[in-house]
A and B are shown apart, each in its own frame.
Chain A
Amino acid sequence: MTADDVIPQSTLDTPLAQISGLVVGLIFLAAAIIAIIRIVRGPSILDRMIATDALLATIMCALGGLLAFTGRADLLPVMLVISMFGFVGAVGVSRYVSRADLRTTSRYRRMGREDHRTGSIGTVEGVEPGVPESRHGSADGGERA
């Protein structure tokens, strides 16, 4: 039994299904457009990442709705892959923003470098452990983006 036999094809034949499908499609479209507006306008990269997650969740729900309305069973693996790997972008961006290489640069602090004030990292409460100057520019610029 293939997947085409399991899910009946083309259930968009009744007026109820057509009207509700149209309404659902318009609502999903509005949600996606609003999330894209936040992605464009977001003041920081974390806001953009949150809006990207919302957009991805909207896309997943829309794919599920399409699957329910039309019976396209080939959309199930797509949703599976999105649900597995949708959080990779958020994790990568948040690790980039939160300067997770503090753990590797703290050895410079232990070596007793005198230039603690150079190359500041924006940590909580103004703690500024020293980092090499070469890494400073790009990371600080990404934090403000």
Chain B
Amino acid sequence: MILDVISALCIIGAALMSLAAGIGALRFPDLLSRMHAASKPQLFGLVLVMFAVGLQTLHWGPISTMILIVLFQLFTVPVAAHMIGRAGYRTKHLRRSMLYRDELDDAVARAHARDVAERERAAAESASAAGEQDAAADRTTHHDDEPDAGR
């Protein structure tokens, strides 16, 4: 009986967290704040629900499967959030006025300077070289093509 009450409370907590995530995704003004709000129930709500299910079953068969579920969420949720945040930053889906500090800005500025210098060098090379050497330049290795500045 007391286990039923505890598991019911856990499931109600997970449901409220899902509701909070929905409200946050609906009401927040920015992509990054929406992502912050929406990623809350993905792990903690799931852990609460799994705890409730584990209290209801008390057997190792379903509990091991649930540990596996939580482990997969633990691996995949940061990947998805990171890629969405990176895509949002690259395509300027964020409001600069809502940021206190943009720590990526310095790295992006450095990468931009390097990019401009590389492009000027490539333009100078192609201006001095003949036309058929462009095909040869196409087959060279590009180890520093896109400066991976983490943006």
Which residues does A use to contact B, with CB under 8 Å?
3, 6-7, 11, 14, 16-17, 20, 23-24, 27-28, 30-35, 37-38, 41, 44, 46-47, 49-51, 53-54, 57-58, 60-62, 64-65, 67-69, 71, 73, 76-77, 79-80, 83-84, 86-87, 90-91, 93-95, 97-99, 102-103, 106-107, 109-112, 116, 122-125, 127, 129, 143
29 chain-A/chain-B pairs, Cβ below 8 angstroms? A6-B57, A6-B62, A7-B56, A7-B62, A17-B8, A28-B18, A32-B22, A46-B84, A50-B25, A51-B34, A51-B38, A61-B17, A61-B45, A65-B52, A76-B65, A80-B69, A84-B76, A86-B76, A87-B77, A87-B79, A98-B91, A102-B146, A103-B146, A107-B138, A111-B137, A112-B122, A123-B90, A124-B108, A127-B116
**A20-B12, A68-B7 known; A80-B65 Cβ under 8 A:** yes
Choose among B12, B22, B62 the residue that contacts A58 (Cβ–Cβ < 8 A). Answer: B22
Mark contacts of B111-151 with chain A using CB atoms, 8 A cut-off: 1 yes-contact digit, 0 otherwise.
01001100100110111010000100110101001100001
Determine the residue in chain A with the shortest Cβ distance to B15. Answer: A27
**Extra pairs beyond A68-B7, A106-B145, A112-B125 (18, CB < 8 Å):** A6-B62, A11-B56, A23-B15, A24-B12, A50-B34, A62-B18, A64-B14, A65-B14, A68-B53, A73-B62, A90-B83, A91-B80, A98-B90, A98-B91, A99-B90, A107-B145, A110-B140, A129-B115
Expressed in whole angstroms, the Cα–Cα distance for A87 and B83 within the complex equals: 10
Q: What are the residues of chain B within 8 A of A87 when measuring CB–CB?
A: 76-77, 79-80
Interface size on B, residues (CB 8 A): 78
* B94 shortest CB reach to chain A, Å: 10
The answer to whether the Cβ of B100 comes within 8 Å of any Cβ in the partner chain is: no
Q: What are the residues of chain B within 8 A of A53 when measuring CB–CB?
A: 38-39, 42, 80
Q: What are the residues of chain A within 8 A of B61 when measuring CB–CB?
A: 3, 6
Main secondary structure, interface of A, reads helix
Determine the residue in chain A with the shortest Cβ distance to B126. Answer: A112
Determine the residue in chain B with the shortest Cβ distance to A19. Answer: B8
Expressed in whole angstroms, the Cα–Cα distance for A79 and B49 within the complex equals: 12
Choose among B46, B89, B134 the residue that contacts A64 (Cβ–Cβ < 8 A). Answer: B46
Choose among B21, B83, B122, B126 the residue that contacts A91 (Cβ–Cβ < 8 A). Answer: B83
Contact call A110/B65, Cβ cutoff below 8 A: no
